[in-house]
Amino acid sequence: MIELPDLPKHLPKAEVPDGRFSRPKNKITKAQRAELRMKFGGRCAYCGCFLPEKGWHADHVEPVRRDFEYVLAPVGSGVTHVARNTGKVLHPDLHTIENLFPACAPCNLFKGAFSVEGMRKEISQQVERARTYSVNFRTAERFGLVEIVDKPVVFWFEHDVAP
């Protein structure tokens, strides 16, 4: 079980988003972004799917990690507290073009603040999690609709493939 820190008695209330968000001060240029997309032949560095011109993410290989704070959740949200990004980057030195990989949105969102090895570990645990928590998965497996392949997680960028 994960232990959460004790929350202060008086927390700020979550604000309704107004559509604005903070971007890194040293945002990559369009030319850098186009070059980054082609780093692995226009494919996601992790799963290898083809990346569209728009809609893909520039992933920090070593995560910059953003700070957050607990705030009171909006009334009627079904939870008491939510974590809100403060805008503070904990490792701004890692926001460099050399530390960026092109990634499809699903891979980057799954990776989150994991390192590459952390992501590999999380992916390798997905089958067991599905078995444990999904009756649908267990049913499909029982009826032979799902076949588990026991093999290591190898990312696209680790393949010996020229772009």
Domain boundaries, the chain: 114-152
pLDDT values of the chain reduced to their tens digit, one per residue, 163 residues: 445 455 555 555 544 444 444 444 568 899 999 999 999 999 999 999 999 999 999 999 998 888 888 888 888 888 888 888 787 878 888 888 999 999 999 999 999 989 999 999 999 999 999 999 999 999 999 999 999 999 999 999 999 764 5
For the full predicted model, state whether its pTM sits above 0.85: no
pLDDT score, position 1: 44
| DSSP result, the chain | -PPPPPPPSS-PBPPPP-S-----TTPPPHHHHHHHHGGGTSB-TTT-PBPPSSS-EEEESS---EEEEEEEPPTTSS-SEEEEEEEEES-GGG-SGGGEEEE-HHHHHHHTT--HHHHHHHHHTHHHHHHHH-HHHHHHHHTTS----------GGGS----
What pLDDT, on the 0 to 100 scale, is given for residue 18? 46
Identify the pLDDT of residue 90: 80
Tell me whether residue 119 is exposed, middle or buried, using C-beta atoms within 10 angstroms of its C-beta: 0 to 12, 13 to 18, 19 or more: buried
Position 9 scores a pLDDT of 57
How many alpha carbons lie under 13 Å from residue 65 in its C-beta half-sphere? 6
Q: What's residue 154's pLDDT?
A: 96
